[in-house]
Amino acid sequence: QRLAASEIVPGDVLALRAGEPVAADARVVAARDLAADESTLTGESEPAEKSAARVDAAAPLADRRSMVYAGTTIASGEGAAIVVATGGRTALGDIQRALSREGERTPPIEQELAWMGRRLAAFALASSSAVVVVGLARRRPLRALGRSAVALGVAAIPEGLPAVGTTALALASRRLLGRGIVIRRLAAAETLGAVSVVCADKTGTLTENRMQVAEIFLPGEGVLRVERGGRARAGA
Active site residues: 201
- Cβ distance 226 to 216 under 8 Å? yes
Per the CB < 8 A criterion, the answer to whether 115 and 122 are in contact is: no
Q: Which residues contact 34 (CB under 8 A, 6 or more apart)?
A: 16, 28, 49, 50, 51, 74, 76, 77, 78, 79
Distance CA 236, CA 220 (A): 12
Largest CA distance in the chain: 97
Tell me how far apart the alpha carbons of residues 3 and 8 are, in angstroms, rounded to a whole number. 7
> Where does 45-110 show beta strands of DSSP type E?
48-49, 67-68, 73-85
Q: If residue 153 lies in a helix (H) or strand (E), which one and from where to where?
A: helix 142-156
Q: CB under 8 Å to 152, separation ≥6 — which residues?
A: 124, 127, 128, 131
8 Å CB contact between 45 and 39: yes
DSSP bridge pairs for 132: none
Task: Please give the Cα distance from 75 to 4 (Å, whole number).
Answer: 21
